Chains A and B, each alone.
Chain A
Amino acid sequence: MVMDSFNSPPIRFKVTPGRIFFMLLGNTLIALFMTGLHSESRFLTSFVYSQCMGISIATCVIFVVNYFKVSTLTVQTILVIAAIVVGIGIGVTAGLSAVNFIWSPDSSIWRPEKLKSQAPNLLYSLLFGAIVSYVFISVQKMSDEKIRRLEVEKNAAITEIKLLQSQMEPHFLFNTLSNILSLIDGDPRKARNMLEAFTAFLRASLVTARSETITVSQEMDVVKNYLEIFRMRMGDRLRYSIEIPESLQSLRIPPLLIQPLVENAVKHGLEPSVSGGNLLIRAGRDGDRMRIMVTDSGIGINELSPGNGIGLENIRKRLDLLYQGRSRISFEENQPSGVRVAIEIPYETK
């Protein structure tokens, strides 16, 4: 647990009444232990001394953990050890002063022989300080990790729901169903083709939305079925071509990354255009980068075109999660009309 935590993020302590109580209780237990160890010392003396020590170490450790910005847990551990040493220094001074003040206010404690007798106590303090800090930090780290894991799981679930929601967009669903319904009597063959494409699209969407990554060719299955549905609906107003080299087909990418771009191009670019237009999906490799481009010759984007409602944020978030800043997505005007979207991701053959 300690080994794998060299690079894990630093922790933050939350000071709660419960934790303060446990610290005081711990101090008391240590005092009892010390009294048992040295029969000549009194419990009360040890108690006062131990509380001073404990509170002082805890304060230093909490201060260091919560107010020193560090990058990893390793650096933080070193700081905590330093804090324990400083805490002991303050604790010894405070503890001795307190004990001296309560039980023998007349004599000075700062005599050499008296200080010398503190040496074993210092060692014990270091030991206990380290153990207690370790326990507290471990508990905190475990709960931090649990929260993080739950966060990741929650994000994955939300992503899946959002993806499926975008695939089940009511306008698309009902328009496609009405088309199938309207074709059943007059053109049953076309109706069957459309139903097949629709079923394949839904199945592929369901499978891909549940995976963390899929191959380019799996994604293209979703895209092709989607476009087939629209080609049947829009007739010759929609023309499309897909140019993806064989070598890139098996590459793994996040699911439903290209499909929403195709959907945007159809929904906001081509479908609203009276004469329709072309759609081109092209992928290529450039060294260690892979570039996917979706180009349409539709009505294009003006300054007030919907920008938030096109699922961009979702795509970007998922790209960030997977590639941590090594991906790019950009929009450009296509000539003479329409939009070109380009996604760049690292070329990785996992």
Chain B
Amino acid sequence: MRQIRAIIADDEEALRSYLKKKLLSAWPELAITGEAGDGPAALRLIADSRPDIAFLDVQMPGATGLEVARRIAGTCAVVFVTAYNKYAVEAFESEALDYLLKPVTDERIEKTVKRLKERLNTPHLSAASVSEAIEKIAFALQKPAVFLQWIKAQHKGGVRLIPVNEICYFKATDKYTTVRTRDGEFLIRKTIKELEEELEPGQFWRVHRSAIVNVRAIQTVADSLSGSCMIKFKDIQEDLSVSRAYSHLFRQM
């Protein structure tokens, strides 16, 4: 029988050598043919040495273990190594993949080794089922942000980073858009229309042709005699008017 070859990828050197030691005592015939300290290095190593098994730390610099697994899906068996708590670990329970919890215990290693031996004797799992399992984990661990979280604004020769939660409102001014926070006003180039598309619609409402408001920053909304309403904010003194076309948003509140 040919020798089974494996690689270990983890950014922490001590953890790599510990896992290597544990693996070799549970599976003396296994050959660890390489180690990598970050995502890109792991990808290169796998491409070069074509191992049967890749032990991948989930959190690695450059590219996470998940990203590495995605790229190599189907080419070798993948075992994730992770320190995540038991709730997140549920996502790892799958037919197509294995995982080891940090700190790794002898018991757990033996179980994994047994499973790996069985797996390598049966025909390869389809790349599709592996990919599916990886996507499931990726979804549970790191739901990617789809809406803007930060606004970048030029300010005093530097670039100010503003968390969107701290913004009271956006308002269009001739060429730019004014971002109002309780610390002051900042100018950005993004238009109201672009912002409306990129911000989370549940939290940021268009209240005027030229304004978007953060509903979490609102203190009260008062009706005015003309049929429009005025928004008062928690943290800033000035008010913002809601045009009649949008005032229905605040009715029955």
| Complex contact A331–B162 (CB within 8 A) | yes
| Complex contact B161–A339 (CB within 8 A) | yes
| Complex contact A304–B149 (CB within 8 A) | yes
- Total chain A interface residues with beta-carbon distance under 8 A: 42
Interface flags, B4-40, vs A, CB<8A=1, else 0: 0000000111110111010000000000000000111
Residues in B neighbouring A187, C-beta threshold 8 A: 14
Known A186-B17, A308-B165, A333-B158; contact A234-B12, beta-carbon cutoff 8 A: yes
A100 contacts the other chain (Cβ, under 8 Å)? no
A267 CA / B28 CA spacing, docked (Å): 36
A-B contact count (CB 8 A): 117
Which segment, of A145-153, A176-184, A196-204, faces chain B? A176-184
Among residues of B, the one whose C-beta sits closest to the C-beta of A302 is B150
A350 CA / B141 CA spacing, docked (Å): 45
A287 contacts the other chain (Cβ, under 8 Å)? no
| Complex contact B151–A178 (CB within 8 A) | no
Among residues of A, the one whose C-beta sits closest to the C-beta of B148 is A303
Known A271-B61, A274-B61; contact A233-B12, beta-carbon cutoff 8 A: yes
Residues in B neighbouring A307, C-beta threshold 8 A: 145, 149-150, 163-165
| Complex contact A178–B159 (CB within 8 A) | no
Partner of A178, one of B102, B144, B145: B102
B183 contacts the other chain (Cβ, under 8 Å)? yes
| Complex contact B103–A177 (CB within 8 A) | yes
Nearest CB in chain B: distance from A318 CB, A:
15
A240 contacts the other chain (Cβ, under 8 Å)? no
A13 contacts the other chain (Cβ, under 8 Å)? no
Scoring B103, B149, B152, B161 by chain A CB atoms within 10 A of each residue's CB, the highest score goes to B161
Residues in B neighbouring A332, C-beta threshold 8 A: 155, 158-161
Which segment, of A154-162, A167-175, A207-215, faces chain B? A167-175
Q: List 13 A-B contacts (CB under 8 A).
A: A170-B84, A174-B101, A175-B83, A178-B15, A182-B18, A183-B18, A303-B150, A303-B198, A304-B144, A304-B147, A331-B160, A331-B163, A332-B158
Nearest 4 Cβ contacts at the A-B interface: A182-B18, A307-B149, A178-B103, A174-B83
Chain B interface residues (CB < 8 Å from chain A): 11-15, 17-19, 21, 38-40, 59, 61-62, 83-85, 101-104, 144-152, 155, 158-166, 183, 198
